[in-house]
Chains A and B, each alone.
Chain A
Amino acid sequence: MTINLLLQNIANGLSLGSLYALIAIGYTMVYGILRLINFAHGEIFMLAPYFLYFGILIFHLPWWASTIVAIGLTAFTGMLSERIAYKPLRDAPRISALISAIGVSFFLQNLAVVVFSGIPKSVHRPIFFTKIYQFGEIRIQSTLFASIGVSIIFLSLLLYIIYQTKTGLAMRAISRDIETSRLMGVGVNRAISITFAIGSALAAVGGILWSLRFPQIFPTMGMIPGLKAFIAAVVGGIGSIPGAMLGGLILGMSEILFVTFLPALSGYRDAFVFFILIIILLVKPDGILGIKVQEKV
């Protein structure tokens, strides 16, 4: 193993990890507020590159415009799914909403098969993103910089919203105590919609960056990244936003390094990720940055 190869792989790990982080945010935000694991999040992630694809193909939008439209549409779909499938179940036992989420996941996946067809499509990549930079012996694709850079921008924006704005304050309050938040005059439904919109928009950014990295898109493409991002959220401490970011980076990095150091086992990379999940659940079930939330008596 040369130092160059190691550096190259660290860069790879960072970029994959930042994608996981973007998706994991959606899981953690929704869990923080509703105590719901939104299993449909991976499908929301899958929709974004499709919206991008059709924006370019059918409406002949330039790539950047189609990207913006795709992010907007995905955010809207996420919001809509909450209104239709989760809001009516808000006072129901938690398990009902969880089952509903699994339903939404299957529904979106199969809807995509029907509407977009199951045949993989290749998404257009602007030339800028196919460039390869050479640093000595290290070759780095420009998508790698893009995913790290774009993630940093969006994650900083998110932290700003959560910790510096009134909407963010309302979200943090709701995540602790919905009823008292109502007494403060917080419009809880609106805040929950915004939460879904933000989470879905970040998943859309993740999905589009993913399609630059792996240009084949297909209706079930959201499953594995969705699951891994969920694991990242659990590893970091579900409910904690910095935790989701950290968990994403740890997961992406360990996955790449696993393949690097044990190339013979590279077929087990997904299994390795689940192995990490099991270890974390055994050793630190609240995750790295998770806070133990006592059940209310």
Chain B
Amino acid sequence: MLKVENLNVFYGGIHALKGVTFQVPKCKITTLIGANGAGKSTTLRAICSLVKSQVGRITFQDKNITNIPTDDIVKMGVAMVPEGRKIFPNLSVKENLDLGAFTREDKAEIARDLKWIYELFPRLKERLWQKGGTLSGGEQQMLAVARGLMSRPKLLMLDEPSLGLAPLLVKDIIEVIQKICQEGITILLVEQNAFAALKISDYAYVLETGCLVLTGSGEDLLNDAKVKKAYLGE
């Protein structure tokens, strides 16, 4: 569904991604793991054109989306839940969700998706008119995921959804990601919490200082000696 070929990104003089190539197959959960600064977030940001890649080619459903405007990529069905949630603290929960559906005009369908969102995240329904900034960390993360879903994406990219959450909430969010995938939405997940992520992944890639060093199914990587040592702390 998504193909990234030879992606190179430079921040000034820093070569952040050095020819990354990978694929995200349809209706599966694909995970990128790696240490801080390995280039995981940069990869996601390059896919939705928040950083322009100097070299490389990104195709989504066989269309070249390299460096096209972010709003066009969103319209094609790619949504991203950014690192650190980035919900709008000055807008109500409902307005945050409405923004998620910004590219859509089908009012009836939006209302239906809202219902689904309320089933998935009952807490959000209770807090609908509260300002986003007053939610707790876990609720903000739920809102960020819900907001991403409101564009009814074909591909949902999540950047460190478990960051800063209590272990119990991490479990919740991982379950939600599985549920979303079961609805037929393709997932590209970036995580530092490698164990939780690999457990639910169909495919996984390991990034190290801008290069992909390891590929396999989530299970393979969970049992890989190198991964165990470097990322699972065994």
Chain A residues proximal to chain B, CB less than 8 Å: 166, 169-170, 172-173, 175-177, 179-188
Q: Are B102 and A180 in contact (CB under 8 A)?
A: no
A-facing residues in B168-220 (Cβ within 8 Å): none
Q: Mark B92-116, 1 if CB is under 8 A from A, else 0.
A: 0001001110110000000000000
Q: Are B82 and A180 in contact (CB under 8 A)?
A: yes
From A166, A182, A183, A185, residue with most partner B Cβ within 10 Å: A183
Q: Are B88 and A182 in contact (CB under 8 A)?
A: no
What A residues does B63 contact at CB under 8 A?
none
9 contacts between A and B (CB under 8 A): A166-B98, A166-B102, A169-B95, A176-B91, A177-B86, A183-B74, A183-B80, A184-B74, A185-B151
What A residues does B90 contact at CB under 8 A?
172, 175-176
What A residues does B23 contact at CB under 8 A?
none
- For the A-B complex, the count of residue pairs with Cβ-Cβ distances under 8 Å equals 61
What B residues does A166 contact at CB under 8 A?
98, 102
B147 sits at the interface (CB 8 A): yes
Q: Give Cα A179 to B88, complex, Å.
A: 11
B50 sits at the interface (CB 8 A): yes
From A170, A173, A181, A185, residue with most partner B Cβ within 10 Å: A185
From A170, A180, A181, residue with most partner B Cβ within 10 Å: A180
B71 sits at the interface (CB 8 A): yes
Q: Which residue from chain A places its CB closest to the CB of B103 in the assembled complex?
A: A185
Q: Are A184 and B91 in contact (CB under 8 A)?
A: no
Q: Helix, strand, loop or mixed for chain A's interface? A: helix
Q: Are B70 and A169 in contact (CB under 8 A)?
A: no
Chain B residues proximal to chain A, CB less than 8 Å: 48, 50, 69-71, 74-75, 79-80, 82, 86, 88-91, 95, 98-100, 102-103, 147, 151
From A170, A172, A179, A182, residue with most partner B Cβ within 10 Å: A182
Q: Which residue from chain B places its CB closest to the CB of A181 in the assembled complex?
A: B99
Q: Are B91 and A185 in contact (CB under 8 A)?
A: no
Q: Give Cα A172 to B95, complex, Å.
A: 10
Q: Are A183 and B75 in contact (CB under 8 A)?
A: no
What B residues does A187 contact at CB under 8 A?
69, 71
Q: Contact partner of B50 among A172, A173, A182, CB < 8 A?
A: A182
What B residues does A186 contact at CB under 8 A?
71, 99, 102
Distance from A295 Cβ to chain B, minimum over Cβ atoms (Å): 15
A172-B91, A173-B88, A176-B88 given; A184·B99 CB < 8 A? yes
Q: Are A185 and B50 in contact (CB under 8 A)?
A: no
From A172, A175, A181, A184, residue with most partner B Cβ within 10 Å: A184
Q: Give Cα A176 to B91, complex, Å.
A: 10
Q: Give Cα A170 to B98, complex, Å.
A: 10
Q: Give Cα A116 to B98, complex, Å.
A: 47
Q: Give Cα A183 to B103, complex, Å.
A: 11
From B69, B71, B80, B90, residue with most partner A Cβ within 10 Å: B71
Distance from A258 Cβ to chain B, minimum over Cβ atoms (Å): 35
Distance from B230 Cβ to chain A, minimum over Cβ atoms (Å): 29
